[in-house]
Structure 1
Amino acid sequence: MGLHRWWQVTLLTLSLFLSCLVGGSQSYYDHESLDDFLCKQANKETERPRTGVVYNVSLPSNFTGMEVSVVRLHRFSLWSRGMNYSFFSLPPRILPQPNEKRITILFENLGNWSSHYFNVPNYTIVAPVFGVMAYNSSEKVLVDEKINFTTHGDPIRIRFPHVGQHGKNDTPICAEFSAGELVKFKNMTEPYVCEVYSQGHYTLVVPSFPSPKEPNSRSHSKRFTKWWVLGFVIGFVGLVILVLILLALVKEAKKRRIRKMERNSEGGELFDTFWIGETKLPSASMLRTQPTLEN
């Protein structure tokens, strides 16, 4: 790695670190600085690019998870045939402004870095942020100054294959990040497909607040715990009451058995009684027959 390249990477990393310290957990990095860095990186990685060939741009290890590709096209080729690459479908009849002879398309997939560079208030990003940017190009410089392009036919189609979990009743919508951090929303034309008419960065979002048709999982868990504790208490109290009733029934049955024995004893010979604990038992006060001594 050259000294100049190392210096650029160091400055960008330092700026990201300082932004995180100043802004806290809610800070977001500057995506325009990222675009400039990616353009310089693309020029360094592709010294002798061929027209019509897609090149994957190597990034430093601290940008793991981000994917960037570039391709240089002739103006006539982009106008007549368009281009399909990865998750992007560029239709024919795209015209660069100004009308350059060669145009370079930069494809970005920010991956797990998406939420670090882009934020949608009151919405949650559920798909990677994809970017498609146009630059003028020459034989010596692959990526030069940023330009615009307009579509005079079908729209550009962006397909999002990796979509995070979201509520069953929350249908994602397309979000376009324009200049000045302005976000534009648009419904999907097909499941996880957005149609756009200009360059920029795009993703899918859902509302951050829970859908009224779908209860919050955390509140559902709290209600479940509450009813479980209440059911446990009621069951425990019921079990104690049942045990007390059984003990009372056993004690009453024992008393009835003793009373029955006393009634039976009243019909025959009288017996004395004595107590052992709470139990009253008969006791013979004299012997029935006297013993006789034999010679």
Structure 2
Amino acid sequence: MRLTFWSLVKGVVFLWLLWIPRFEGQFTNPQTMPARALDATLQDYAYRAFVHPRTGIPYDGVPPANLNGIEISAMRLRSGSLYHRGVETFREFRIPVGLREQPYVERLILVYQNLGNWSSTYYSLPGYAHLTPVLGLLAYNGSDLTAVDLPELDLWASEKAMTIKFEEVSPVPAGLVAKCAWFDLHGQVNFTDVVNENVCLTTEQGHFTIVVESAAAPEQEPPATVEGHPEAPSKKDKDSWVWGIVGSVCGGVALLVLLALMIVLVWKYKKRKKMRELERAADAGEALRMTRVGSILRAPYALPTRTMPQFEINLGA
């Protein structure tokens, strides 16, 4: 029974581990996965612009034909030079001294993105309207210029904030206030104040835009979807996402309840087994011990009683 019990426990744990990735994935922003796939594609095409690369010089890349309207550029830098000197201008970005990356690499590459008319497709915000295109700045390892699907470096400004000066800003409707929106690499959205009408500040990499809050803001018409290109999730997909969370939670609770019931059943089984062993021992009685008589014969004998018999002596006349 012990072997069977542990086999069942391992099976329950295995099923639980299968649920965990699905459960965690349900909390990801629905826009995150298509946007992350776009980042990987643009990194590949930006690296292709390096034919005879020179340090500190931006090279404009050419995105695939099905992403017409997106602009990309890449700049290769030494980590030490970036930290001590910064970058005065890289398209709309001004990078101050003190920029750090983790993990440390000797050379890194900054990839610039301007999503243009694809901005609302990959970074839509319900209740908000984009006043500018979405601009991206991501850092990658620059040791291998042919590498693809590279993970981003963790990049942050340790002394002064980076500035983003947007060149194309739509007028702000009367009575509304524009906000800077920063999308980090985990799909979270952060809002800050706009500086001088077209400048946003940031201490980390990611994607940036200026938006205006408007409950009645019309949804921008996304570009036509090209075959093979990921499209933004529909309302049906979002509903499935919510039900996926509910199903994952219910499945996890059910597995935990099943494991608890198994533990209780095994405990009761062992308790009943022990009681039966005690009952059999009581019915059989205590076996007599054996002793040697002479040099060959063995015979049973009983232990002496603890209390010796008392004899009454009548001293009467």
State the TM-score, normalizing by the size of structure 2. 0.54
Q: CA deviation at 1:155?
A: 0.3
1:193 maps onto 2:199 in alignment: yes
Structure number with bigger Rg: 1
Over the aligned positions, Cα root-mean-square deviation in angstroms equals: 2.3
Paired residue type of 1:175: A
CA contact (8 A) 1:29 1:117 kept: no
1:133 maps onto 2:145 in alignment: no
Higher relative contact order (CA 8 A, sep 6+): 2
CA distance in 1, matches of 2:111, 2:147: 10
Q: 1:100 to 1:120 in 2, by over 3 A?
A: same
Q: 1:135 to 1:28 in 2, by over 3 A?
A: closer
Paired residue type of 2:41: F
CA contact (8 A) 1:28 1:119 kept: no
Partner of 2:297: none
1:152 maps onto 2:158 in alignment: yes
Q: 1:117 to 1:194 in 2, by over 3 A?
A: same
CA distance in 1, matches of 2:32, 2:109: 28
Q: 1:92 to 1:124 in 2, by over 3 A?
A: same
Q: CA deviation at 1:194?
A: 0.4
CA contact (8 A) 1:109 1:128 kept: yes
CA distance in 1, matches of 2:32, 2:155: 28
Q: 1:27 to 1:102 in 2, by over 3 A?
A: closer
Residues matched between the structures, number: 186
Paired residue type of 2:208: Y
How does 1:12-23 map onto structure 2 within 5 Å? Answer: none
CA distance in 1, matches of 2:154, 2:68: 29
Q: CA deviation at 1:139?
A: 5.4
Q: CA deviation at 1:82?
A: 0.7
Give the SS at the match of 1:30: helix
Q: 1:72 to 1:142 in 2, by over 3 A?
A: farther
Partner of 1:80: 84
Q: 1:142 to 1:157 in 2, by over 3 A?
A: farther
CA distance in 1, matches of 2:199, 2:211: 12
CA distance in 2, matches of 1:164, 1:140: 37
1:109 maps onto 2:114 in alignment: yes
Uncovered stretches (5+) of structure 2, i.e. residues with no partner:
1-29, 218-317
Give the SS at the match of 1:33: helix
CA distance in 2, matches of 1:140, 1:118: 28
Give the SS at the match of 1:62: helix
Q: CA deviation at 1:60?
A: 2.6
Moved over 6 A (4+): 26-29
Give the SS at the match of 2:46: helix
CA distance in 2, matches of 1:57, 1:150: 24
